[in-house]
Amino acid sequence: MEDFNIILGTDSYKVTHYKQYPPNTTTVFSYFECRGGKLNGAVDGDVKFTEVVFFGIQYILQKYFTGQVVTREKIQEAKEVYKLHFGQDIFNEQGWEHILEKHDGRLPVRVRAVAEGTVVPVGNVLFTVENTDPECFWLTNWVETLLVQTWYPITVATNSRKQKEFLAVYLAETAGNLDGLESKLHDFGYRGVSSQESASIGGAAHLISFEGTDTVAGIRFARKYYGCSMAGFSIPASEHSNITAWGQQQERAAFKFILEAFPKLPVSIVSDSYDIINACERIWGEDLRSVVEARSSDAPLIIRPDSGDPVIMVIKVLNILGEKFGTTINQRGFKVLPPYVRVIQGDGIGTHTLVKVLRAMWRERWSVENLAFGAGGAILQRVNRDILNCSFKCSFVEIDGHGMNVFKNPVTDPGKASKRGRLSLHRSADGLLYTEQEGRGDPNTDLLQTVFENGKLLKTFTFAEVRSRSQIPAERLEQLKQAEEERVWAI
Ligand SMILES: O=C(Nc1cccnc1)c1ccc2c(c1)ncn2CC1CCN(C(=O)c2ccccc2)CC1
């Protein structure tokens, strides 16, 4: 990563921390966890997160940590910047010179992490960092700033997987199988994220649980960093300009033209430019009805409403289409439109509204086979570090050759208490993951693996492995089904 200078890749206050640790400190050992807790489910509404998908450290390590990341030029640049930034010489020039001379510019740190894609209950250690050169005790927490940015891929991956749980429960309940589950939540979010890099990272994080995306950057990311040649798919779809360019009087002509432009593929046509109800009743349901009925089941028309309350619009559109094209009743007793016509709701969808639409469809006896969702900002942008309470804390130091377990335990917030000593992650006999503290863990069963050491990426995972590790277990779906039964289906 040429135009990145890790010596300038940290919070300003960390530049002064080498002067603040106790004299003769030789080791700083820190860890990262997602505490979950107080802001739980803040993505929207009453969705709760009790476990997280670990994802994304591989990218950060590969892009910003591997190889010779310290050079004389970068030290010089940092020296100038910090002299101006602090107004005096407090930059640890000797410390970085030491890394350049003794380690050939490679970072003398060890990062141990749980395998990417692992689903870990909140409150467990996810990765640890320690210095491998006693003179570089100050480096461990220097790199916190960059490594804690894993909060973003972890949160996006976790939130998309949570939506997949709800979709799976309602698809199983209303269709009797999980066919098409992976294409039920399509990423529309490319334009709504803050940067190209966020689109890449977040786009890929969504694709751990789904295979539908319009965020092309996520495809490229998965190819480049996780060895996946094609992580997601899309289809021909219209935007408003393709309809409005024909003028309001020609909406029907536009619809017909676009349908006929793609005879052998599913085609999605946004239908709310003027009046979605008229579009469904008159244009799709009468004027173009035979054109729609001529579509094959693997090249359906997919009607896209794009305004109005999502819950109301989905039910209204399904009811009109059911009237016009007829429905069958599936083995679960739910209504299904003919296979040549489907609906995608891509407006106003976040975890909370997706659940509300699913619950409304259940109440109106519509099978989830009929619908897919698109989501943008809610998938990639409406997330922050507080949702899973991701944090990095020191838990062990060595001073004058003596090891010491350290921690914080604020009387003002017990939820912020940190773990103590050297940490490891283990799986109990009944399959649950738990953290051993104070160095008590058996190294032979530690699920944390050394993924980075002294400038080298030692362990990487493919996107296929990440996807396989984050599968949703059947018992989790059973649990969520029970909860929905009590909360919604019983009423
Ligand atoms: O409008 C779209 N993209 C977009 C991008 C950026 C901003 N706004 C919209 C867009 C992109 C992909 C779309 C789409 C619409 N409509 C369908 N797809 C992709 C998938 C096609 C395959 N799928 C179906 O056939 C299907 C649809 C509904 C029920 C059951 C199955 C599931 C959806």
Strands (DSSP E) found in 367-489: 371-375, 390-399, 402-405, 424-427, 433-436, 449-453, 456-457
The residue whose CB lies within 8 Å of the most ligand 1 atoms, and thus the one to mutate among 273, 302, 317, 343, is 302
- For the stretch 126-172, pLDDT in tens is 999 999 999 999 999 999 999 999 999 999 999 999 999 999 999 99
ipTM of the prediction greater than 0.90, yes or no: yes
Q: Which residue has the tokens 């030692």?
A: 458
CA distance 363 to 373: 18
Is the CB of residue 240 less than 8 Å from the CB of residue 247?
no
The yes-or-no verdict on residue 206 having pLDDT over 70 is yes
Q: Tokens for 38?
A: 């107080």
Q: Quick one: pLDDT at residue 40?
A: 47
Atom of ligand 1 nearest to the CA of 300: 25
The residue whose CB lies within 8 Å of the most ligand 1 atoms, and thus the one to mutate among 234, 264, 344, 370, is 344
Is the Cβ atom of 192 under 6 angstroms away from ligand 1? Answer: no
Q: Quick one: pLDDT at residue 41?
A: 47
Is the alpha carbon torsion for 32, 476, 203, 47 positive or negative?
negative
pTM of the model: 0.97
Closest CA to 400 of 134, 213, 187, 68: 134
Is the Cβ atom of 371 under 6 angstroms away from ligand 1? Answer: yes
Q: With bands split at pLDDT 50, 70 and 90, how would you rate the model's confidence at 45?
A: low
- For the stretch 51-87, pLDDT in tens is 999 999 999 999 999 999 999 999 999 999 999 999 9
Is the Cβ atom of 268 under 6 angstroms away from ligand 1? Answer: yes
Q: How far is CA 285 from the centre of its chain?
A: 38
**Would you call 457 helix, strand, or coil by DSSP?**
strand
Q: Quick one: pLDDT at residue 1?
A: 61
Is the CB of residue 161 less than 8 Å from the CB of residue 47?
no
**Would you call 221 helix, strand, or coil by DSSP?**
helix
CA distance 343 to 269: 10
CA distance 130 to 108: 9
Q: Rounded to the nearest whole angstrom, what is the distance from the C-alpha of residue 232 to the centroid of ligand 1?
A: 12
Q: Tokens for 95?
A: 């410390």
Q: At what angle do helices 93-103 and 72-86 cross, to 10 degrees?
A: 170
- For the stretch 100-114, pLDDT in tens is 999 999 999 999 999
Q: Quick one: pLDDT at residue 46?
A: 65
The yes-or-no verdict on residue 182 having pLDDT over 80 is yes
Q: Rounded to the nearest whole angstrom, what is the distance from the C-alpha of residue 213 to the centroid of ligand 1?
A: 8
- For the stretch 345-403, pLDDT in tens is 999 999 899 999 999 999 999 999 999 999 999 999 999 999 999 999 999 999 999 99
Burial class (CB in 10 A: 0-12, 13-18, 19+), 95: middle
Is the Cβ atom of 372 under 6 angstroms away from ligand 1? Answer: yes
- For the stretch 437-474, pLDDT in tens is 999 999 999 999 999 999 999 999 999 999 999 999 99
Percentage of residues of the chain with pLDDT beyond 90: 96
Is the Cβ atom of 180 under 6 angstroms away from ligand 1? Answer: yes
Strands (DSSP E) found in 305-416: 328-329, 335-336, 341-345, 371-375, 390-399, 402-405
